[in-house]
Structure 1
């Protein structure tokens, strides 16, 4: 049970229960950002030996990074010059204790509670991301995975019920929250910027058109979309003259998507179903799915790809957009439990291009016929989101979100932006068809 002692100051206010809907049962203590509940976060772990080891590893790792690490009292390490990002470690004891207990979670948690600060979060995290796989020696990484680091909880497996709870914990934080930092298309995925343009709305429309083109969507077709979001892609497909059946497992997203579709004048062409991809039925001229596979989980990739194949009519094409990571890193880290899992995307796993190809070959008759990479575009997209979130923080705060949430969301957006900046993460659009 979460007690008041577990909560840092400024816990926010609970979201009201939606009328007519029973509150979700919670069998274990998990962060609930929209209620200001942060189990155990306020107290750093008591791990003096691990803390000393973590401090030694951290000092060795950052000594050659182009950053400046500043400790209380003025000690400085790092190889950065006067214009390089600065990381100020405000509470070294707590910082190294969290890092020693579990580096994949403790680094982000220590930022959330203010153990360290910076004036350029994405800039600071970028050199860390560039050397993510080599900051800790491989032998120590293997020891850490075996003995020290947490593994993904069984409760977050992406079964039918598990997926609904995992999606609820992120996408149902607040429709108003997402509306404040996303653009007017409400696209929560990478844009695709035209040369010379920094307009996020145009980039999102170009991205949507790009994936619809890959799936060959045109007038008179019946399209299945797996992962509705807030209806932006379904709206665009309907404006092309297609009929759309779009699937979501978020009641909150469904409600807002239907309102937005009505406002766009295409509600008569789009059906929004509260349905998991595993429960989908029918035969469609095209199937599209944008950045939904990351929430599927390795164990269910065969089922997901088989669903794309099963739903696609003969001669049809599918458009898939997915964040990707290097295959070797995916293989060694796929069971890790990270800060992103704990606070942002429970149950998530980013595939590699190789794993997508392998699953298509093993479980479908589909093959990749075209692809494009949008990695640098995602870094720019995230920078837009981070700036909008920061600029509109007072409005976010008015929704009931606390200061810990602000630092959590800043870290999430900056952490992801850094990964795309250096190519540790990428995002691809794929056209899929039967040979």
Structure 2
């Protein structure tokens, strides 16, 4: 196909539902990239332009998929994939294509008022109080250590890697991410370090192998805590470390350095001030902090707050992405000095693609752990949905560096 084109379609009543025209009208207005849409009745439609930039394909298995889109917007469309109502060889490409045509598709992706209200209502019931935080974290991270161990790399790191080479392995890029933090904070022997959200102990092990530090790590996941403690003990690194089940709001004492990797996203908007005030209080005067955080574009922020998405609904209940501008605003309002930020969204897109590849290749073993096909589709959509967001530029990831004034 060499010619730019845009096609609208008026299906005959005996081959397609009459309401289909409500869907095809906005699709006929797109101009970026090309969408191939195969309907359940066998018709194949094409929308957009063949300009060689973006191309995505959708096979609609049931008309219900399109009804979900009309009623529930982007969230309804996501639910349709999980239920098998539609398929695609590349979900990430669909997300990137939709982001490129966001203006033309905006009303379609919003869904009905009632669906938006119900989604927002569910999200607000998952507020991150201390009790709510424990429940929300457990929902995602306590699926079982065996589950995550099956498809994560050997470092058991569940956050973006930092790639420096097209041929670099995932494990190597994860180590580089950790090392970038160690170098930026200039952590030296004898330092007292707090890790807020220590996960399965990847950063703790990386740091303690290099530096003789006193490290405290906190998490709200019992599964992660058990794994991380055993990991450090097995490595002979537990002597000067203390890992515990604790909310960040309950920490005491002061530290030379604080590290928090992709934990701010789980804090919740109403607690961002509390989070940064806690970092300020826990840092010694002159102490420094590194935060790795996924962000959303500032111009999307308010709409995002009013319309919880697939990730907030099905993957990370209670989650909320800040913009990088709001990270700076809340951290400096707490008295912390902004030392800079490093963006590496393309690295996250690649990390997610590798995770998805590993997840799919490991599915026979994952399924033996008791997870069904719906779970597989849910996680495939989650990983590719996020990959498409990074590729399309609607979200990014940063390492942010802060300091408490001396």
User: SS at 1:334's partner residue?
Assistant: helix
Match of 1:71 in 2: 39
Stretches of structure 2 lacking an aligned partner (at least 5 in a row): 1-16
Q: Which residue of 1 aligns with 2:398?
A: 428
Is 1:160 matched with 2:130? Answer: yes
Cα deviation for residue 365 of structure 1 reads: 1.5
CA gap 1:64/1:284 in 2 versus in 1, 3 angstroms: closer
Look up the match of 2:335.
Answer: 365
Cα pair distance change 1:291/1:230, threshold 3 Å: same
Secondary structure of 1:259's match?
helix
1:299-318 to 2 correspondences below 5 Å: 299-318=270-289
Residues 152 and 347, structure 1, Cα contact 8 Å, conserved in 2: no
TM-fit CA distance, 1:54: 5.8
Distance between the aligned counterparts of 1:257 and 1:266, measured in 2?
11
- In structure 1, the partner of 2:187 is 217
Q: Distance in 2 between matches of 1:250 and 1:321?
A: 19
Total equivalences in the alignment: 384
Q: In the TM superposition, what is the alpha-carbon distance from 1:423 to its structure 2 partner?
A: 1.5
1:145 Cα deviation from its structure 2 partner? 8.4
Matched, 1:126 2:96: yes
Please say if 1:272 is aligned against 2:243: yes
| Partner Cα separation in structure 2 for residue 353 and residue 301 of structure 1 | 13
Tell me how large the CA RMSD over aligned residues is: 2.4
Aligned 8 A contact 1:68 1:79 in 2: no
| Mapped partners of 2:85, 2:112: distance in 1 | 26
Aligned 1:329-348 pairs, distance under 5 A: 329-348=300-319
Change (3 A) 1:163 1:58: farther
Could you say which residue in structure 2 is the equivalent of 1:322?
293
Superposition map of 1:14-413 within 5 A = 55-56=23-24, 59-60=27-28, 65-72=33-40, 73-79=42-48, 84-92=55-63, 94-132=64-102, 134-137=104-107, 141=110, 144=113, 150-153=119-122, 154-239=124-209, 240-362=211-333, 364-413=334-383
| Rounded Cα–Cα distance in structure 2 between residues aligned with 1:264 and 1:134 | 55
TM-score normalised by length of structure 1: 0.83
After TM superposition, give the deviation of residue 278 of structure 1 in Å. Answer: 0.5
Q: For 2:150 and 2:25, how far apart are their aligned partners in 1? A: 39
SS, match of residue 323 in structure 1: strand
Contact 2:71/2:111 (CA < 8 Å) preserved in 1? no
Under a length normalisation based on structure 2, what TM-score does the superposition of the two structures give? 0.88
